[in-house]
């Protein structure tokens, strides 16, 4: 039975790693990108919102949309899945959590080794000179999809401040990507939670882990592109990590 197999895999593992996607935060109330009906890219046009060209064309539209998302994250709380991974990190103190998520829910759950492949909603920077910009913590509520909002100006050069996320057509942040590659090279078990597994280069990490001899365990309530690669597939939401890992005595 797969659950017993998971306990065994975890008991044998010396160097696990974790890869998470939008599904990890779904039960915290953060919308995924591609889930039918609810996914952000089902309801909003990625081309208008998630590229450097989009920001150049209409910075107010883009900034307002990302501020709406940031406010959603500020209101959200880590879910039992985030908390279970934090407990797993106590058992494996250098547990790398590679995430495609731009929220900070792993950190707020207490995880420390979090590698953000797609940046963060909380770390905007100047679109011209790259200097980081400190945002005020909260606008209490934003209309669905946000409202047009002028981006702040950089304190250093006066350029427009942009969201600190990776957009389509942009490179991943070099240090995070390098460390993620290293983590999947080193791991003997990769736990993949809540990603459709179709956005590259992150989508290539599970196969790299496999090629290095790691076992692959996936937690996702729906089919994903990673199903054929996974050794164990748990068709469960991320919150099930609480009992999946808990009953293995690991979290």
Binding ligand OAD (rule: CB under 6 A), the pick from 16, 78, 206, 237 is: 237
C-beta closer to ligand OAD: residue 22 or 160? 22
C-beta closer to ligand OAD: residue 23 or 151? 23
Active site residue 3: no
- Cα separation of 157 and 34, whole Å? 37
- Cα separation of 9 and 194, whole Å? 20
Written as six digits, the tokens of 40 are 């952000």
- Cα separation of 212 and 202, whole Å? 16
C-beta closer to ligand OAD: residue 92 or 234? 234
Instruction: Give the CB-nearest residue to ligand OAD.
Output: 23
Establish how many alpha carbons lie within 13 A of residue 110's alpha carbon, considering only the half-sphere containing its beta carbon: 12
C-beta closer to ligand OAD: residue 56 or 156? 56
- Cα–Cα separations (whole angstroms), residue 215 to 13, 66, 212, 229: 9, 36, 9, 9
Contact of 17 with 193, CB cutoff 8 Å? no
Written as six digits, the tokens of 82 are 């985030």
Using CB under 6 A as the binding rule, whether residue 39 contacts ligand OAD is answered as yes
153-172 binders of ligand OAD (CB under 6 A): 166
Using CB under 6 A as the binding rule, whether residue 118 contacts ligand OAD is answered as yes
Binding ligand OAD (rule: CB under 6 A), the pick from 154, 220, 233, 241 is: 220
User: Least distance to ligand OAD from the beta carbon of 36, Å?
Assistant: 9
Pairing of strands 189-193, 16-20: parallel
Binding ligand OAD (rule: CB under 6 A), the pick from 17, 34, 189, 234 is: 34
Q: Could you write out the three-class secondary structure of 81-131?
A: HHHHHHHHHHHCCCCCEEECCCCCHHHHHCCCCEEECCECCCCCEECCCCC
List phi, psi (to 5°) of 17: -140, 165
Using CB under 6 A as the binding rule, whether residue 21 contacts ligand OAD is answered as yes
C-beta closer to ligand OAD: residue 111 or 220? 220
Binding ligand OAD (rule: CB under 6 A), the pick from 10, 16, 19, 23 is: 23
77-106 binders of ligand OAD (CB under 6 A): 100
Catalytic residue among 106, 116, 118, 122: 118
186-205 binders of ligand OAD (CB under 6 A): 194-196, 199
Instruction: Summarize as ranges the residues that interact with ligand OAD (CB under 6 A).
Output: 21-23, 26-27, 32-35, 39, 50, 100, 118, 166, 194-196, 199, 220-222, 224, 237-238
């Amino acid at each position: 039975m797969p659950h017993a197999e998971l306990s065994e895999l975890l008991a044998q593992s010396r160097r696990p790693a974790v890869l998470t996607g939008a599904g990890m935060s779904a039960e915290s109330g953060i919308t995924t990108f591609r889930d039918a009906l609810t996914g952000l890219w089902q309801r909003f046009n990625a081309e208008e919102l998630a590229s450097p060209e989009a920001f150049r064309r209409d910075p107010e539209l883009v900034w307002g949309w990302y501020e709406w998302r940031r406010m959603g994250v500020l209101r959200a709380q880590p879910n039992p899945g985030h908390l279970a991974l934090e407990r797993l990190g106590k058992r494996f103190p250098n547990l790398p959590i590679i995430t495609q998520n731009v929220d900070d829910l792993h950190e707020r759950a207490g995880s420390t080794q979090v590698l953000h492949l797609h940046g963060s909603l909380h770390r905007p920077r100047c679109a011209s000179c790259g200097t980081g910009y400190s945002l005020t913590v909260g606008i209490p509520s934003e209309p669905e999809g946000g409202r047009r909002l002028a981006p702040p100006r950089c304190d250093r050069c006066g350029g427009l401040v942009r969201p600190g996320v990776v957009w389509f057509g942009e490179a991943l942040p070099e240090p995070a990507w390098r460390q993620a590659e290293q983590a999947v090279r080193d791991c003997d078990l990769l736990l993949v939670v809540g990603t459709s597994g179709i956005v590259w280069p992150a989508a290539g990490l599970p196969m790299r882990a496999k090629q290095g001899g790691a076992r692959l365990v996936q937690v996702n309530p729906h089919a994903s592109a990673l199903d054929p690669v996974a050794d164990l597939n748990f068709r469960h939401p991320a919150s099930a990590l609480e009992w999946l890992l808990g009953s293995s005595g690991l979290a």
